[in-house]
Chains A and B, each alone.
Chain A
Amino acid sequence: MGASSLIVLMIAAVAFSGIAILISKFVLKATTNKQKGEPYECGIPTKGPSWVQFNVGYYLFALIFLIFDVELIFLFPWAVVVKQVGWLALVEIVVFFFILFMGFLYAHKKGALKWM
């Protein structure tokens, strides 16, 4: 059972992608124009070269955002069980916050929040 289902899965995967390509080959009306060469066919046409430098500081903000995001997401399941678990839950979430706070402190001290 194990081997045959694996083989069926592989065949199905290949067949699925193959059929999709074949269908698009038959249905598609072949047209070529200048727009086809663009990286994105939709959206506003770009003016000038798109290879501009943007500030590398963006990713630092994204990472710090992640700290709070994770913190918030973990609060939801915690809030559901906090009454059953009691005081231990409070201690645990404080420890958890403390660890995250360390990370935030590190980022702050390293100047990740300063816009250069």
Chain B
Amino acid sequence: MNALLLTAVFGVIMMLSSFLLTSKTAIRGLAVSGMVIVLAANVLEMMGIVFFKIDTKDMIAFDRFSLLFNSIVFISTLVYFLLSARDMEKVGINYGEYFALIFFVLCGVTLSSSFHSLLILFLGIEIISIPLYILTGSDKRNLKSNEASLKYFLLGAFSTGLMLMGIALIYGATGTFSTNGITTSPTSALVIAGMLLLMFSMAFKVSAAPFHFWTPDVYDGAPTVFTSFMATIVKVAAFIAFMRLFNDEFGSLQSRWQLLIALITAITLFIGNITAVFQQSVKRMLAYSSISQAGFMMMAIFAMNADAREGLLLYSAAYCLATIGIFAVLMKLKDYSFDGFNAFAKQQPLLAATTTIFLLSLAGIPLTAGFLSKFWMIKAVAGTGKYLWLVIFAVLMAVVSVYYYFRVIQAMYFKEGDGQTIEASLPFKWTLVLLAGIIVLLGVFPNWIIYWLYF
């Protein structure tokens, strides 16, 4: 509850700051300090100190899982602000508003990670989506940005419609919005229809195939600094909502949806990885890589056991931090193609080294957080004892992903080129080093996150 209210308050404060504060440094400082306060308040709530005790009539349930996830999201956003807040200046003149919209998105993230009612799920997803439509189109003079925004808006509205229809059908069958689980037996066709609609709309929000078509265009068209935010924090937030929904509400129907989720997972892994191989632009490659990573996270939805819950939290931390780091480096470059990275290591040895660690983490090489999170996912699926072909397929696809991640490393270290001149400030470099350090440490001590789930 602390984080929910504080993110909304800071959203309004940032909105007002756009005309109260004239200096961009002050706005940035306010946003970063706001993020620190929100993070601190959320950590306090994990320790049992709640500032605002509001009776939500059992519509919102802040449990360990959602609080821990919120902390991960806030840490990621803090890192994102520290690394990339300076790049938002290039997008347009409305500097304070961008932060305000991001805070509103975080408010939605808090809601959708802790809902205990289908209405709150809908509200949370919408509060996430609407600021994102604006952020996608915030580069007003760029046609690609406009196209991406419109595409995202139309498809997003369509999937929201599906979700509402699903909620209506579930309500019609059970007579309640609370996600206490389907108990009516025999399961009526209304419940199944509603479940399918909810599944499809959530699969759209996490960009799982075959509902992924918007992802590359939107991620490519949006200003890179906001792509970084969308591809990481928002995506894992949608996954947490997906997991909560299918754990709380449809957990009793697992045998009905498991095969379908397994198929969606396999298709997502296949399409994401194979298409990413053919990309020429690193930004577009990262968009497809986000689809393939979504495929791995779908394995948690599929397994839905204790390992899956731990694994999804670990995965969201590993994936968010690594992708934010790569995007922060990518934003400094002018040429987004693979050739743009040629001889990058000679130019900026430190940045190239940290980028290599991020890419290794995404590819799932041991000693990084990415490896352990993939390991956790595969362990969770293997733990269900069924669908072993999914495990084998996922491992194969992880091997494919190594190809396109290592292409960047190869370009940085082994290719000749003139190299782009980029300026990177000292704090920026140190933040990246710190981020790489966190990723390696999480790869060695994953219990630092998982411990909090049971503490």
Chain A residues with a Cβ under 8 A of chain B? 1-3, 6, 99, 102, 105-106, 109-110
Q: List 18 A-B contacts (CB under 8 A).
A: A2-B172, A2-B173, A2-B188, A2-B190, A3-B188, A3-B189, A3-B190, A6-B189, A6-B193, A102-B15, A102-B16, A105-B16, A106-B15, A106-B16, A106-B18, A109-B19, A110-B18, A110-B19
In this complex, how many residues of chain B approach chain A with their Cβ under 8 Å: the count is: 12
A3 to B19, CA, bound (A): 56
Report B312-351 CB contacts with A as 1/0, cut-off 8 Å: 0000000000000000000000000000000000000000
A107 to chain B: closest CB distance in Å? 10
Report B1-21 CB contacts with A as 1/0, cut-off 8 Å: 000000000001001101100
A26 to chain B: closest CB distance in Å? 34
- Sample of 14 further A-B pairs with CB below 8 A, known A1-B188, A106-B15, A106-B16: A2-B172, A2-B188, A2-B189, A2-B191, A3-B189, A6-B189, A6-B190, A102-B12, A102-B15, A106-B18, A106-B19, A109-B19, A110-B18, A110-B19
Chain B residues with Cβ below 8 Å from A1 are 188
Q: Which of B116-141 contact A (CB under 8 A)?
A: none
A3 to B16, CA, bound (A): 52
Which residue of B has the minimal Cβ distance to A109? B19
A6 to B191, CA, bound (A): 12
A99 to B16, CA, bound (A): 12
A9 to B189, CA, bound (A): 14
B111 to chain A: closest CB distance in Å? 17
Report B166-191 CB contacts with A as 1/0, cut-off 8 Å: 00000011000000000000001111
A6 to B172, CA, bound (A): 11
A78 to chain B: closest CB distance in Å? 19
Q: Is the CB of B190 within 8 A of A99?
A: no
Task: Give the interface SS of chain B, mostly helix, strand, loop or mixed.
Answer: helix
Chain B residues with Cβ below 8 Å from A105 are 16
Which residue of A has the minimal Cβ distance to B100? A106
A106 to chain B: closest CB distance in Å? 6
Which residue of A has the minimal Cβ distance to B191? A2
Chain A residues with Cβ below 8 Å from B191 are 2
The 6 closest A-B pairs by CB, nearest first: A3-B189, A2-B188, A2-B190, A109-B19, A2-B189, A102-B12
Which residue of B has the minimal Cβ distance to A105? B16
Which residue of A has the minimal Cβ distance to B184? A2
Which residue of B has the minimal Cβ distance to A3? B189
Chain A residues with Cβ below 8 Å from B15 are 102, 106
Chain B residues with Cβ below 8 Å from A99 are 12
Chain A residues with Cβ below 8 Å from B189 are 2-3, 6
A98 to B221, CA, bound (A): 37
A4 to B18, CA, bound (A): 56
A99 to B263, CA, bound (A): 47
Which residue of A has the minimal Cβ distance to B20? A109
B455 to chain A: closest CB distance in Å? 36
B166 to chain A: closest CB distance in Å? 13
A99 to B172, CA, bound (A): 35
A109 to B12, CA, bound (A): 14
Chain A residues with Cβ below 8 Å from B188 are 1-3
A110 to B190, CA, bound (A): 49
Chain B residues with Cβ below 8 Å from A102 are 12, 15-16
A51 to B186, CA, bound (A): 59
A3 to B194, CA, bound (A): 12
B102 to chain A: closest CB distance in Å? 17
Chain A residues with Cβ below 8 Å from B172 are 2
Chain B residues with Cβ below 8 Å from A109 are 19
Chain A residues with Cβ below 8 Å from B18 are 106, 110
Chain A residues with Cβ below 8 Å from B173 are 2
A47 to chain B: closest CB distance in Å? 32
A3 to B172, CA, bound (A): 12
Chain B residues with Cβ below 8 Å from A106 are 15-16, 18-19
A7 to chain B: closest CB distance in Å? 9
